[in-house]
Amino acid sequence: MTPAILKTSGSDLLRDLDLTDDELIYLLDLASDVKRTPANYANALAGKSIALLFEKPSLRTRLTFDLAIKQVGGDSVFTDGPIGGREPLKDVARNLDRWVNGIVARVFSQDTAEELARWSSAPVINALSDLYHPCQALADAQTIRERFGEMKGLKLTFIGDGNNVAHSLMITAIRLGMDFVLGCPQGYLPNPEIVAQAEGLAALSGASLLITHDVAKALEGAHAVYTDVWTSMGQERETARRKKAFHPFQVNDELFAQARPDAVFMHCLPARRGEEVTDSIMESERSVVFDQAENRLHAQKALLLMMLA
Ligand code: CP
Ligand code: NVA
């Protein structure tokens, strides 16, 4: 029998803050229960259909959503390419909500996800946009909790671009009481509005937020060191300039040694070995990148159950 599942208060997950603090904690508890006893949830979404719309490539997000939906008894349909290329987004949304119970969308612009949600009565989940990657941050929090137990008081250091992954991680980590540090080159700071939100959340949770260009300072006392690609999807024309700017921020043996001796290495994947991280760090026993990838499945199952069960 499936245990009673708390419903999310909002209908969409477009940005991390669409989950309340209590819902975030509940989701992490549910994700670990789903991981431990998947059979208990095998029919929880029986009869529900979910559309997966992907404007950008994906291995983990697409497959873990597809598997998660099927493993809780639902069904999925998939399209790739631009959403709203052939007809207005508001028409796409009002077609889909006649057929499906939920929409998972990976988009270039956050506005695309917002516009879909505005017109769809079926809930929309952001599967990565230029601003956020909330589903990744959920799996990352699950991974950190599994590794360290208590999250409050841990220090999570993100080295690299102030991008979508950094934004979601910053908001989520701080709400969970983790000190968050972003070490980035000049010119690659995170979105100032999201930083202001994170500062507000830090005042509530008691966690701290530091954004610095000083790598050594960023790594001091870090329990987890996280990085992501230097050039995100859609930024390919900036690759050469970014390689130059981010070079001193590569997570290699020397850089990683500046964190705590028990620190873990994290990456949302895909990783570009030799750029933002070396092969030796990816393959080291401190790397938890495949735990993060595994937890995408469990965390997204929990999210789907809370939004749609
Ligand atoms: N981490 C992540 O979202 O991976 P994909 O781009 O393969 O979905
Ligand atoms: N920041 C990367 C994350 C990929 C999962 C991108 O947006 O391409």
> How many angstroms is it from 110 CA to the middle of ligand 2?
14
Q: Does residue 3 carry a pLDDT above 80?
A: no
CA distances from 142 to 87, 128, 283, 295, 296 (A): 39, 18, 21, 7, 9
SS3 14: coil
Q: Is 136 in the pocket of ligand 1 (CB under 6 A)?
A: yes
What's the rounded Cα separation, in Å, for the pair 90 and 261? 52
Confidence of residue 10 (pLDDT cuts 50, 70, 90): confident
16-133+294-308 belongs to which CATH class? alpha beta
pLDDT of residue 236: 97
For residue range 25-36, list pLDDT tens digits in order.
999 999 999 999
The SS3 call for residue 52 is strand
Domain ranges for the chain: 16-133+294-308, 136-291
Counting from 1 in the atom list of ligand 2, the atom nearest the Cα of 235 is: 8
Contact by Cβ (8 Å): 13, 303? yes
CATH topology of domain 136-291: Rossmann fold (3.40.50)
Q: Which ligand is nearest to the CA of 242?
A: 2
- 6 CA → ligand 2 middle, Å: 30
Residue that is written with structure tokens 């419903």 in the block: 7
One-letter amino acid for residue 10 of the chain:
G
pLDDT (tens digit per residue) in 127-151:
999 999 999 999 999 999 999 999 9
Distance CA 65, CA 298 (A): 10
Task: Report yes or no on whether pTM surpasses 0.95.
Answer: yes
Q: Are 16 and 134 in contact (CB under 8 A)?
A: yes
pLDDT tens, 145-187?
A: 999 999 999 999 999 999 999 999 999 999 999 999 999 999 9
**Mean pLDDT estimate for the chain:** 97
CA 121 to centroid of ligand 1, rounded, Å: 26
Atom of ligand 1 nearest to the CA of 133: 3
